[in-house]
Amino acid sequence: MDKEKLTKKINKLSKFVVCAMVVYFMLNCCGIWPDTKSGDTVSLDVDKVPFWKASLGIVTIVLIIASVIGVYIQTYRLMSGLSRNSTPFTQKTANIVRDLGIFFIIMEIAGDTFMFIAGGVVNVNFFWLAGLIMYSFSLVFRYGSNLQRESDETL
C-alpha cells in the first residue's frame, strides 16, 4: 500500500473511531445505552430451542473461544516480537496488531449474538471499539514500517 492510500485510510478510520467513541460516551452519559449486569448468567437450553438457534449458539460459543485464544496467541507474538526486534515498526507487528483488532471485533459480535439468542438481550460492550482502535494502530504501525524501511534504505 502506498503512503497516500495508507494515510487516507488512517484518517478515515481515525475519524470513524473518534465519532464512535463520542457517540458511545454520549449514550452512556445519557443512560440510553443498555447497562451490563454483572453476575448474571445466561444459559442456552438446547432441548427447548429450535435447532437453528441452538446451532447458531454453539457456533457463537466456538467463535468466542477461538477469539480469546487468538487474542492470547497474538498478544504473546506481539510482546515476544517487540522484545526481540530493535524497532516495533515492522510489517509483522502491524499484522499482529491488526489481527488483535479483528479478534476483539469477532469476540464482541459473537458474544452479543449469543446473548441475544440465549436471553433475548442485546448487551453491547466496548470490545468492538477496542478492536477498531487496534485496527487503527495497525495502520499506524504499517505506515511506520514504511518510514522505517525508507530510513534504512537511505542510510
For 37-65, what is each residue's pLDDT tens digit? 444 555 656 567 788 787 888 899 899 89
Q: What is the pLDDT of residue 7?
A: 67
Mark 116-143 as b/e (b = at least 16 C-beta within 10 Å): bbbeeeebbeebbbbbbbbbbbbbbbbb
Q: Is the pLDDT of residue 97 over 90?
A: yes
Q: What is the pLDDT of residue 142?
A: 92
First to last CA, the chain: 23
How does the average pLDDT of the chain come out, rounded?
79
Enter the C-alpha cell of residue 58: 454453539
d(CA 20, CA 14): 10
Residue 44 and residue 118 in contact, taking contact as beta carbons nearer than 8 Å: yes
Q: What is the pLDDT of residue 36?
A: 46
pTM score of the predicted model = 0.72
Q: What angle do CA 56, 60, 65 make, to 5 degrees?
A: 150
What average pLDDT does the segment 66-95 reach? 84
Q: What is the pLDDT of residue 37?
A: 47
